[in-house]
Structure 1
Amino acid sequence: MAGVNEGTPIAILVLGTGAIDTARRIQARYPGSLIHGLASRVQADVAFTELGPHLRELYARNTPIVALCAAGIVIRCLASALADKTFEPPVLAVAEDGSAVVPLLGGLGGVNVMAREIAAALDVVPAITTSGELRFGTCLLNPPTGYVLADIEQGKRFVSDLLAGATTRVEGVAPWLDQVDLPRATDARLAIRVTPHTSDVAGELMIHPRCAVAYVTALSSEESIVERVRHALRDHRIAPMSLAAVLAPLSMIGSVPLAGASRVLDAPLRFGALPEGFETFEHENSVVIAIAPQPVNPSTLGQARGTLTVIGLGPGSADLMVPAARHALSLADDVLGYETYVRMAGPFGPHQTLHCTDNREEMQRARHAFELASTGRNVVVVSSGDPGVFAMAAAVLEALDQARNNAQWNAVELSVVPGVSAALATAARAGAPLGHDFCMLSLSDNLKPWAVIEARLQHAAQADLVMAFYNPVSRARPWQLDRALDIVREHRTGAATVVLGRNIGRPGEILTTTTLENLRSDQVDMRTMVIVGSSTTRCFPRSDGNGDWVYTPRWYE
């Protein structure tokens, strides 16, 4: 029966360290899954602070959930979010010691399949209570991957009739039903019909194999493409649910209307020639409908339009990485970046390829990313912090700008996912030192002359901007921070507030509040963010005695 699709990220939730071993065993069963841990108790791949909101967010994003806690906790947390069971993800409760596996929600999303898979991994018996599965050994409403039920309401009535004593016959190829204990009769009124075609016969449970491909040979608007495909399907009595993919010539790979049409038709978009072995139906509107003898795996047709996503990991802690970045990583075939950042982005599945390079190889990395993506792969380039702040987004765009005539690179679907920059993370720990106008400056002269840095420091200090210094000092240039501070001191008093954030968001983080006159360059290294306050920046002691709060008022005297 259909379970979770390969590559779908599964959230395994743990509330305490006692559940970690069981969580790891489940994670091993589903490569690419992530362990979500209660931040105050567990070190995990993803941290959360409140179980209820986190569960509801995962549920709303259709993420399969395996919660290692009491079933009642999960039920109470999700009760307010329950709506249409036709479109809910699998949700299971598993005992912390792995002694019980209880499917709770997602009967039509493969929860019982997951329950059996997890129970087998833990060597226990799943607590499946679905009457149809207990009676017949299968869920007729959840056919295997590659097949889809035509009408859920008709399906419910059909199963109810069988449970009440009716018999059925099977028409069409349904190998998964061969060993199932269904009440069969050759002259039964009820029939399970497996076909890509439409039918209006009463008493049939229609299951459509996803074996149809729409081959589009001419471009037009998104609406026109959708209508042409639907018209062709309708003319040949092919059920829209049987559509496995939209296929087009490779020359159309950059078409935006075609991509939009595939989303409306809810079918993956692939590019290449129609393979042999399909029964084809020519249509006058530049669409060919092709029917395969069995369900089609879209990944076997031509190639996909490649994607290149540039993401920011945030300052280092999992709970400060935005969900969109984590989602992009879960879908990636290839992950590129400076090795330290790539390792921070894990864990990775066995199907994912890592390309780790030196931190100074940004342009080579960007070009390599486009080469990979142009072959149809899902590629992610990682940066720390925000990818658009002294990081890889600019390098990726520069590489594309230099290759404007490269049709393959320009066909790649490029996107940038923001992250929490080091300056913003340090500011949040300190309070709100960036509460008014501010600027970010890199003190590295590897890519720009020091004279330019000095000029910008002069203007920023004179303008009374709060300043955040990236790359403040290194062994190769130990003098530059002192020179920068000398420039700032020309325009600020010695009492100006300075915030130093070292390894913010990572183990061993240190937050220090000092003043411009007391700041020494030996307090700073490349892992330190330096924020120099303006004339209005203020600080006062925290009530817990743990340092100061720092803020820059939004008003100006």
Structure 2
Amino acid sequence: MKPAIITFAANGAELAQSVAALTGGIVRRCGFDGENARALLPRLFAEKVPLIGICAAGILIRLLASSLSDKEDEPPVLAVSQDGKSVVPLLGGHHGANRLARQLAEALGGHAALTTASDLKFAIGLDEPPPGWVLSSTADARPAMLALLVGARIALEGHAPWLAEAGYPLSSMGAVKVLVTEQQLKVDRGLVYHPRTLVAGVGCERGVDVEEVIELIDFGLRSENLSPQSLAAIATIDLKADEPALHQAAAHYGVPLRLFTVAELNQERYRLTRPSAIVEAEVGTPSVAEASALKAGALIVPKLKSERVTCAIGHALRSIDPEALGRSPGRLHIVGIGPGEPLSRTASAIRALDASSDWVGYGLYLDLVADLRSGQEEHRFDLGDEEPRARHALELAGQGKTVSLVCSGDAQIYAMAALVYELLDVTGERALSDAARRVGVASHPGISAFQAASAAAGALIGHDFCCISLSDLLTPRLDIVRRLEGAAKADFVTALYNPRSQRRTDLIEAAKTLFLAHRPGDTPVIIGRSLGRPEEKVRVTTLAAFDPSEVDMRTIVLIGASTSKAFTRGDGKTVAFTPRGYEKKAASAATGEADEQ
């Protein structure tokens, strides 16, 4: 996970950007004009986000003190002095903090203030092996490390070159036994590391239960006394990219799901032990399970079959990098970034943007989140290219990438989410590729313009409301007018999106006339422009005084209900709100006749 670079002062901003560039992290500014550190840091810590503070160590200690519990489950936390000369790992030393401190100190020309005894002597802790190896039992690491610190040596059986590279003394007569094996074994007075050398190839029927998938994989592993910790991936045909049971099984084992095309699986047809003519007739290749497993190297467990699942296990001579094995199922995040200001972004949106390799969106929207960018590739589109934008995002995800489709406000409201699902459903000439139709999709809501405008000027949407777009590019004008009439008659607070363009000037005029026919002239109206941006302007007027000519496409208009009210506060600001009826509830309570809400 990418670290959060925390800065509290302007004179730490430049170093924070340098640290972000070195680590791929995201700068999060705290303080009077930034985020609330007392809320932000404990939340990020609980989410296991690595934290690098450009600040005194004591600041991080005080902010995180109440969050500390199990040291085995804490992310790296480091403090970096504002001159970059001192890098202090505070927490998670053996979870990457010490290693990260060394890297930062070397890059910044500073000093890594390591206090963990083992890390002062060895470059890698025994309980934090590099990718590709898993320590069977972390409890065994401490006694082994204590022995090494007082002069013992390691007797290594198996392939783990990183031990010598980290400075550990090796000897065939060593007192600390280290065994590297896929087998479920234990050693006395030593450690067992499981190399990630196994791939479980899986085929299944649609809608199979995940329990059946896991049971068959477990049976295959037990048949050869193999450890689940040696699994590097679960692999299957790309037609199963959207099969929930396979995703759930991969999550169960803590490994990625990797996909192969029919052509790629057919490359293994002459090494199969149990090909199936039925499978070939159905999907175009005589094997899914065995062919997927063979991508690791050689079969160690030939095809097994349960009622609805097949499984085979392949074995590689060296640890497998899953990223080099087939492709990912791909995922599209539909991200609402709110009105534009950083403080209005949700944590969910930030995490999705951080996790993505590619960002797709209208250029202005991508500019609004530029401070979060840490190496993602941008795909910029013009304002009117909504379908090409959504299609491009889906097809990128279909290539196995994790993609964020960036939308202003909330992507569900007059934005791209509905178009994404329309494209997933459409057939014929507009149809997506099969791979794009199978990608995972997640929506991340954002603060919409009508919420931001109401909040900036009071609470006009405190009771029933509706939203209507006045853009007639996609909706017939007669339908828009009919909806305006319905909202006016029904006495909804009404938010008008896209109120006026250079071409279309009369619909906002018609809206005012319609609402004046059903509302008093002193009905509050909120006009919000460039919400969440430096040029933001929000003011309250009345329906009678509202001038439609002053609005444009960067403006939202909220027309109150007949019950809405406005008043001027002591600071001279006029605010508007719509009562929900609490005065009636209070009166009922006073007479002992409280109603249910």
Please, which of 385, 389, 393 is the counterpart of residue 417 of structure 2? 393
Deviation for aligned residue 1:238 = 1.8
Determine if the alignment matches structure 1 residue 280 to structure 2 residue 299.
Answer: yes
SS in 2 for 1:284: strand
Distance 1:19 1:522 in 2: 46
Using the alignment, how far apart are the partners of 1:171 and 1:416 within structure 2?
Answer: 48
| More deviation, 435-444/445-454 | 445-454
**Correspondence 1:509 to 2:536:** yes
What amino acid sits opposite 1:529 in the alignment? Answer: I
Q: Distance in 1 between matches of 2:493 and 2:255?
A: 50
- Tell me how far apart the structure 1 counterparts of residues 255 and 449 of structure 2 sit (CA, whole Å): 40
Tell me the residue number matched to 1:237. Answer: 225
Change (3 A) 1:350 1:436: closer
Once the 2 structures are TM-superposed, how far is the Cα of residue 349 of structure 1 from its aligned partner? 5.2
Aligned to 1:450: 477
The answer to whether the 8 A contact 2:360-2:405 is kept is: yes
1:76 maps to which residue?
Answer: 62
Q: Counterpart of 1:509 in structure 2: which amino acid? A: E
Is the counterpart of residue 542 in structure 1 residue 569 in structure 2?
Answer: yes
Taking the aligned partners of 1:418 and 1:18, their CA distance within structure 2 comes to: 34
* Per-residue Cα deviation, 1:9-37 (whole angstroms, up to 9, x for no partner): 21001111010011011011123x21101
Displacement, 1:165? Answer: 3.9
Q: TM-score, normalised by structure 2?
A: 0.87
Matched, 1:131 2:155: no
How far is the alpha carbon of 1:277 from its aligned partner?
6.3
CA distance, structure 2, for counterparts of residue 372 and residue 532 of structure 1: 41
Alignment partner of 1:520 out of 544, 547, 553:
547
Give CA-to-partner distance per residue, 1:445-495, whole Å, 9 cap, x none: 111122222221112111111111111112112333222111111111111
Q: Quickly say closer, same or farther: Cα 1:109–1:136, change in 2 above 3 A.
A: closer
Distance in 1, matches of 2:419 and 2:124, equals: 52
1:83 deviation in Å?
1.9
1:208-227 alignment runs, 5 A limit: 208-219=194-205, 220-227=208-215
Q: Which moved more, 1:342-351 or 1:362-371?
A: 342-351
Percentage identity across paired residues of the two chains:
37
Q: Which amino acid aligns with 1:312?
A: G
Q: Tell me the alpha carbon deviations over residues 72-104 of structure 1, each in whole angstroms, 9 at most, x when there is no partner.
A: 111121121112222211110111221211001
Number of the residue aligned with 2:349: 325
Aligned equivalents of 1:546, 1:511: Cα separation in 2 = 14
Q: Using the TM superposition, give the Cα deviation of residue 389 of structure 1 relative to its aligned residue in structure 2, in angstroms.
A: 0.6
Cα-to-partner distance string for 1:239-277 (whole Å, 9 max, x where unaligned): 211111001122322211111111112110011244556
* 1:18–1:97 Cα contact (<8 Å) kept: no
Matched to 1:460, the amino acid is A
Shift of 1:136: 3.2
Shift of the 397–185 alpha-carbon distance from structure 1 to 2, 3 Å rule, reads closer
- Could you tell me which residue of structure 1 aligns to residue 269 of structure 2? none
Shift of the 527–375 alpha-carbon distance from structure 1 to 2, 3 Å rule, reads same
Matched ranges for 1:429-508 at <5 A: 429-508=456-535
Q: Secondary structure at the match of 2:494?
A: strand
Q: 1:11, 1:65 within 8 Å by CA — same for their partners in 2?
A: yes
**Structure-2 separation of matches of 1:546 and 1:28:** 46
Indicate yes or no: 2:6 matched with 1:13: yes
Letter in 1 for 2:389: R
Whole-angstrom distance in 2 between the partners of 1:278 and 1:408: 26
Structure 2, unmatched stretches of 5+, are 266-291, 585-597
Deviation at 1:350, TM superposition (A): 6.8
Q: Deviations along 1:213-250, whole A, 9 cap, x unmatched?
A: 11113344200111111221122122211111001122
1:517 is paired with a residue whose SS is: coil
Pairing partner for 2:175 from 180, 186, 189 = 189
Task: Using the TM superposition, name which of 365-374 and 253-262 deviates more.
Answer: 365-374
- Contact 1:171–1:192 under 8 Å retained in 2: yes
Instruction: Please state how far the C-alpha of 1:121 moved relative to its aligned partner.
Output: 2.1
| Distance across 2 between alignment mates of 1:188 and 1:297 | 30
Give the SS at the match of 2:128: coil
Match of 2:96 among 110, 114, 126: 110
Name the SS of the counterpart of 1:491 in structure 2.
coil
Partner in structure 1 of residue 23 of structure 2: 30
- 1:148-159 matches, within 5 Å, as 148-159=134-145
Separation in 1, partners of 2:124, 2:465 = 62
The AA in structure 2 aligned to 1:309 is H
For residues 371 and 550 of structure 1, do their structure 2 counterparts lie closer, same or farther at Cα, with a shift above 3 Å needed?
A: same
Indicate if the aligned counterparts of 1:26 and 1:121 stay in contact, CA closer than 8 A.
no
More helix by share: 2
AA aligned opposite 2:220: A
Cα distance in 1 between the residues matched to 2:463 and 2:203: 55
2:27–2:372 Cα contact (<8 Å) kept: no
Give 1:407 shift.
Answer: 3.9
Counterpart of 1:92 in structure 2: which amino acid?
Answer: L
Q: Does the 8 Å contact 1:542/1:548 carry over to 2?
A: yes
Check whether the contact 2:186–2:192 (CA below 8 A) recurs between aligned residues.
no
With normalisation by structure 1, the TM-score equals: 0.93
Matches within 5 A, 1:346-385: 346-347=370-371, 351-385=375-409
Aligned equivalents of 2:422, 2:240: Cα separation in 1: 25
Cα RMSD over matched residues?
2.0
Is 1:417 the counterpart of 2:444 in the alignment?
Answer: yes
User: Which amino acid counterpart does residue 448 of structure 1 have in structure 2?
Assistant: T
Q: Can you list the C-alpha shifts for 1:23-54, whole angstroms capped at 9, x where unaligned?
A: 011011123x211012524xxxxx41x21221
Aligned residues: 542
